[in-house]
């Protein structure tokens, strides 16, 4: 099967363009990449993956950001706002507290629109241009819509976003709006929005840029490439584990693909592959359920709820690509409560790293796995934080302390400061 860590060398099909083609992960049918609009396999409706005749090693990369990795991407350049090259922060207090050899935070909130979705969009919107479509669409828990709106406007294209009414953080709606997307608020959850947008796309109304789109995941692979390069440079070795929040499981699938391609290119060895470890909110944890049951099938959860709205997803579309990744890398998946998520958000903020709730799930999951002894003290771990604190100002304000009213005099302020202790402490 193509999704194992030791795949067969691919035979380059006749429909490849410059050594790039699309291949079904289920039946291995191949398709030309840029001729027709296609999101899934014509033959069996399976998920598609971008495949390459030549895969690069680390020596082939040059420059900064997502397009440093152009040799691992389907196009040479994209519609860009200089996404990628995000920081990998040290968090010494958290590292001590968790009792681990190393903990680093890959803060994807430092992308241009404040989430990793930019990495996917710089590639996906460029492919849309290549295909000659003029209207782009997505369903979104918020960040995809912000990124699509920004990259669509940069590329001079119309954008349409479907959002679950009342369940999208304020910063994200504001971004989609100002970048000029038409925002349709759907009376339903994210999964219902995605069902509708897939049908619109199937009818040719718009080009779909959810993570079902195989090109978007190519851009998101670069998160893994950056983490591996940074660990190698700092520690002379790769991380033992990468812990990440899981919604539609696009990143889990994308990181796994990055590892498989590096292995295939001979750039890393089998023992260099980090254990992919997914974290979901307890109120939206179908992937965790599947991993715990050892199942290949993910049961769709119809009722999902969590404060971490970016991962409030009951039907992870990339599960068929992501589950083999978790299994083959000997990783795992775990669910955390909203309280544990908020606690982790505070921990990160206490070291100067501001993230939105979904992002903090990675750290909350790491803490839980460490407490359970599944993550051991000798491990070097990278946690992915997917979005910026300012995305969800309401959640941040609720997790932090309240402002303290004081009189407009120095004396009054001094009196206040020497008086009762800070509220909420």
Taking CB under 6 A as the criterion, which residues in 326-385 touch ligand PLP? 356, 358-359
For position 273 contacting Zn ion by CB under 5 A, the verdict is no
Instruction: Determine contact, residues 360/279, Cβ cutoff 8 Å.
Output: no
Which residue of 4, 18, 44, 296 would you call a contact of Zn ion, by CB under 5 A? 44
Q: Which does 311 bind (CB under 5 to 8 A by kind): Zn ion, ligand PLP, none?
A: ligand PLP
Burial status of residue 425 (CB atoms within 10 A of its CB: 0-12, 13-18, 19 or more): exposed
Provide the pairing of β-strand 332-336 with 380-385. Answer: unpaired
Does the CA dihedral 166-393-216-160 come out positive or negative?
positive
For position 41 contacting Zn ion by CB under 5 A, the verdict is yes
Taking CB under 6 A as the criterion, which residues in 132-151 touch ligand PLP? 143
Q: Residue 358 CB, nearest distance to ligand PLP (Å)?
A: 4
**How far is C-alpha 127 from the chain's CA centre?**
19
For position 13 contacting Zn ion by CB under 5 A, the verdict is no
Which residue of 2, 10, 29, 60 would you call a contact of Zn ion, by CB under 5 A? 29
For position 251 contacting ligand PLP by CB under 6 A, the verdict is yes
Give the count of beta carbons closer than 10 Å to the beta carbon of residue 294: 8
Helix H or strand E encompassing 51? strand 48-52
From 227-235, 241-249, 330-338, 409-417, span contacting ligand PLP (CB under 6 A) = 241-249
Structure tokens at 112: 């241009």
If the CB atoms of residues 323 and 369 are measured against Zn ion, the closer one turns out to be 323
User: How far, in Å, CA of 88 to CA of 229, rounded?
Assistant: 11
Sorted by sequence, the CB contacts under 8 Å of residue 419 that are 6+ apart come out as none
Provide the pairing of β-strand 88-90 with 102-107. Answer: antiparallel
For position 42 contacting Zn ion by CB under 5 A, the verdict is no
User: How far, in Å, CA of 129 to CA of 136, rounded?
Assistant: 10
Provide the pairing of β-strand 241-245 with 182-186. Answer: unpaired
For position 325 contacting ligand PLP by CB under 6 A, the verdict is no
Taking CB under 5 A as the criterion, which residues in 310-349 touch Zn ion? none
For position 27 contacting Zn ion by CB under 5 A, the verdict is yes
Residue 131, φ and ψ in degrees, nearest 5: -75, -15
SS3 of residue 26 by DSSP: coil
Question: Which stretches within 238-337 are classed as H helix?
Answer: 250-265, 286-293, 319-328
Q: Which does 174 bind (CB under 5 to 8 A by kind): Zn ion, ligand PLP, none?
A: none
Taking CB under 6 A as the criterion, which residues in 169-228 touch ligand PLP? 211
Q: Residue 378 CB, nearest distance to ligand PLP (Å)?
A: 28
Which residue of 30, 175, 248, 277 would you call a contact of ligand PLP, by CB under 6 A? 248
Matching residue, tokens 């679950």: 164
Q: Which does 247 bind (CB under 5 to 8 A by kind): Zn ion, ligand PLP, none?
A: ligand PLP
Q: Residue 27 CB, nearest distance to Zn ion (Å)?
A: 3
Instruction: Determine contact, residues 316/291, Cβ cutoff 8 Å.
Output: no
Which residue of 162, 310, 336, 363 would you call a contact of ligand PLP, by CB under 6 A? 310
- Tell me the number of residues near ligand PLP by CB under 6 A: 18
Q: What is the per-residue binding string for Zn ion in 377-406, x denoting contact by CB under 5 A?
A: ------------------------------
If the CB atoms of residues 40 and 318 are measured against ligand PLP, the closer one turns out to be 318
Q: Residue 64 CB, nearest distance to ligand PLP (Å)?
A: 23
For position 250 contacting ligand PLP by CB under 6 A, the verdict is yes
CA-CA-CA-CA dihedral for 283, 286, 291, 297, to nearest 10 = 170
Q: Which of 196, 327, 329, 322 has the alpha carbon at shortest distance from 274? A: 329
Q: Residue 385 CB, nearest distance to ligand PLP (Å)?
A: 8
Strands (E), 113-267: 135-139, 158-164, 182-186, 207-208, 241-245
Q: Which does 44 bind (CB under 5 to 8 A by kind): Zn ion, ligand PLP, none?
A: Zn ion
If the CB atoms of residues 29 and 60 are measured against Zn ion, the closer one turns out to be 29
For position 113 contacting ligand PLP by CB under 6 A, the verdict is no
Q: Which does 24 bind (CB under 5 to 8 A by kind): Zn ion, ligand PLP, none?
A: Zn ion
User: How far, in Å, CA of 328 to CA of 330, rounded?
Assistant: 5
Which residue of 164, 171, 224, 245 would you call a contact of ligand PLP, by CB under 6 A? 245
> What is the contact surface with ligand PLP in residues (CB under 6 A)?
115, 117, 143, 211, 245-251, 310-311, 356, 358-359, 386-387
> What is the contact surface with Zn ion in residues (CB under 5 A)?
24, 26-27, 29, 41, 43-44, 46
């Amino acid at each position: 099967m193509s999704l194992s860590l030791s795949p067969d060398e691919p035979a380059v099909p006749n429909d490849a363009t410059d050594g790039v083609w699309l291949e079904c992960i289920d039946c291995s049918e191949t398709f030309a990449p840029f001729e027709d609009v296609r999101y899934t396999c014509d033959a069996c409706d399976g998920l598609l993956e971008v495949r390459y005749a030549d895969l690069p090693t680390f020596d082939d990369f040059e420059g900064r950001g997502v397009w440093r990795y152009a040799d691992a991407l389907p196009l040479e350049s994209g519609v860009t706002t200089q996404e990628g090259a995000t920081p990998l922060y040290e968090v010494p207090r958290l590292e001590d507290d968790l009792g681990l050899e190393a903990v680093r935070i890959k803060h994807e909130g430092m992308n241009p629109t404040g989430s990793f979705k930019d990495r996917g969009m710089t590639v996906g919107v460029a492919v849309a241009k290549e295909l000659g479509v003029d209207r782009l669409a997505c369903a979104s828990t918020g960040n995809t819509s912000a990124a699509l709106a920004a990259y669509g406007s940069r590329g001079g294209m119309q954008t349409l976003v479907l959002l679950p009414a009342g369940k999208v953080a304020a910063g994200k709606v504001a971004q989609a709006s100002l970048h000029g997307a038409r925002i349709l608020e759907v009376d339903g959850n994210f999964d219902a929005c995605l069902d509708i947008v897939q049908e619109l796309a199937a009818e040719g109304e718009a080009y779909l840029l959810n993570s079902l789109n195989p090109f978007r995941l190519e851009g998101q692979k670069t998160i893994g490439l950056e983490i591996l390069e940074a660990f190698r440079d700092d520690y002379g070795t790769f991380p033992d584990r990468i812990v990440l929040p899981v919604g539609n499981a696009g990143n889990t699938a994308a990181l796994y693909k990055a590892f498989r391609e590096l292995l295939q290119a001979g750039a890393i060895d089998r023992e260099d592959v980090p254990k992919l470890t997914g974290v979901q909110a307890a109120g939206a944890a179908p992937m965790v359920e599947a991993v715990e049951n050892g199942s290949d099938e993910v049961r769709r959860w119809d009722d999902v709820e969590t404060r971490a709205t970016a991962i409030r997803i009951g039907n992870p579309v990339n599960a068929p690509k992501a589950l083999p990744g978790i299994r083959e890398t000997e990783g795992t998946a775990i669910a955390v409560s909203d309280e544990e998520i908020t606690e982790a958000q505070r921990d990160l903020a206490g070291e100067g790293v501001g993230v939105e709730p979904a992002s903090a799930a990675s750290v909350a999951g790491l803490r839980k796995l460490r407490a359970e002894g599944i993550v051991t003290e000798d491990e070097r771990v990278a946690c992915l934080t997917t979005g910026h604190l300012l995305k969800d100002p309401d959640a941040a304000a609720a997790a932090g302390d309240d402002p303290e009213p004081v009189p407009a005099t120095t004396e009054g302020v001094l009196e206040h400061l020497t008086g009762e202790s800070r509220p909420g402490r």
